[in-house]
Structure 1
Amino acid sequence: MTDERITSLTETPDWRYLLKEFYEFYRRMSSGGSDKIRAHQRAVREAISKTLADRPAVRLGPPVRRPVTVHLRRALDLGRRYQMDGVIRAIDAVADDLSWQFGYDKVPKGLENRYAYAEIAGPNGPVATERVILGLVLFAPGCVYPAHAHDDITESYICLSGAVSENHQGVYEPGSLIFNPPGHMHRITVSDREPSLLGYAWVGPAEQLRGQKMVFSRPRPGR
């Protein structure tokens, strides 16, 4: 980053509060009786707790906007309607410092106007840590996010606003969690009426978190 400002988590309480909001989600949210989801939730909580105890550096560069961020205000407003106000306020407090990215070497035509993500914590995030990756994904109405998978990374999305479906299996609205084990191919579709904002958490080996790249893949037959 150019013109990067480096401070610490203790000196930037808004970022610390945001991490705590993520922690609370993974503490309060039901696992639905799934031992695998319960283990993932525990792993995310432990990683966040250790990150908070580390008091890591916070690296703030110039904010980066993408075309889809014109929908951010609406997405935040929608989140407030669904009793997500705590995390929405925490996101709003750091919104001016977010760096929205695509994360792919080659973005499919049209997707650059309908999607972007902003990392919150991780090897390349504002909150510097190799314990976990936390971030936000913003989708424009009607977005179709192509099939992809993450090797050696366990991933979950928390729906903060709007409504999405993954692999055409169920509809996820605010307060729900989507769980993707390592290597699981997943494709996301978004309601054509409103944007959707998701929080996400990735846990896995530090070397995988450092080197993880998003690559679109063709779904296997039958998917």
Structure 2
Amino acid sequence: MSERLIDQPNWIYLLREFETLYRYGSAGGSPAIRSHRKKVREELSRIIGGNPPLAEREPAGKPVTAHFSRALDTGERGSMQGMARALREQRDRLTWEYGYEKVPPALARKYAYCEILGPRGPILWDRLILGFVLFAPRTTYPQHSHSEIEESYISVSGAWSENNAAVYSPGSLILNRPGDEHRITTGDHEPCLLAYAWAGPPEKLGDPKMKFTAGRRQA
């Protein structure tokens, strides 16, 4: 008999940390962010109550995961300590990947993401994706966008900027609407760990066709 969410409480604890972020964090007066937060937490309530099946994947690292311990350490010392501690409990079960067919060699050393909930698991769900993305210090994540997918990032540790418009610290949330072009840069001295949520049609979440914007490359 296949395992379900209730059989692995550490995954539940991690999902509840996401639920806490999207329930109690501020929308900053933005109707779009308020709507996105509601969408994510309502779906999370359905997930936790629905007890979905698990499909554990083979754990895998990438060069950037050499910075993971440092990112968790700094996260545990700040406002995101609950999320950082819950993630540490699952660190040996994460599958880090790139998500692109072609990744510039310099970026391949400085970036990777891991999905914890979504169409490919380990927690199987087709209407929401949750995960984490890790950046090394002094990383530029090239310009890109997502078709029909609404995306939010919440910083767990480290400072980062999107489109050179502001500096975001742990606990900060930024929302990218479908089609929004965005580019991420990180600070000079510390890695940056972001939690993310993707909301969109199941067919798009199952095959997002990630690609960088034509003509844009890592600086």
TM-score > 0.5 by shorter chain? yes
* TM-score relative to the length of structure 2: 0.96
Query: Distance between the aligned counterparts of 2:12 and 2:72, measured in 1?
Result: 19
Q: Give the equivalent residue in structure 2 for 1:168.
A: 164
CA 1:54 to 1:113, structure 2 compared with 1: closer, same or farther past 3 Å? Answer: same
Distance 1:219 1:162 in 2: 28
- Measure how far apart 1:47 and its partner are: 1.0
1:189-200 matches, within 5 Å, as 189-200=185-196
Are the aligned partners of 1:153 and 1:203 in contact in 2 as well (CA < 8 Å)?
yes
1:30-54 superposed Cα distances (whole Å, 9 cap, x missing partner): 0000001000000000111111111
RMSD between superposed Cα atoms in Å? 1.3
Matches within 5 A, 1:19-168: 19-168=15-164
Which structure 2 segments of 5+ residues have no match? none
Given that 2:161 and 2:185 are in contact with CA atoms closer than 8 Å, whether structure 1 keeps it comes out as: yes
How many Å apart are 1:219 and its aligned residue?
6.8
CA apart distance, 1:6 = 4.9
Partner of 1:9: 5
Amino acid at match of 1:196: C
**Matched-pair contact (CA < 8 Å) for 1:150–1:183:** yes
Is 1:214 the counterpart of 2:200? The answer is no
- The runs of at least 4 consecutive aligned structure 1 residues that moved more than 3 Å come to none
User: Residue 175 of structure 2 corresponds to which residue in structure 1?
Assistant: 179
Identity %: 50
Secondary structure class of the residue paired with 1:33: coil
| Alignment length (residue pairs) | 216
Structure 2 residue matching 1:59: 3-state secondary structure: coil
SS of alignment partner, residue 110 of structure 1: helix
Aligned in 2, Cα 1:40/1:219: closer, same or farther, shift over 3 Å? farther
**Inter-partner Cα distance in structure 1 for 2:150 and 2:54:** 24
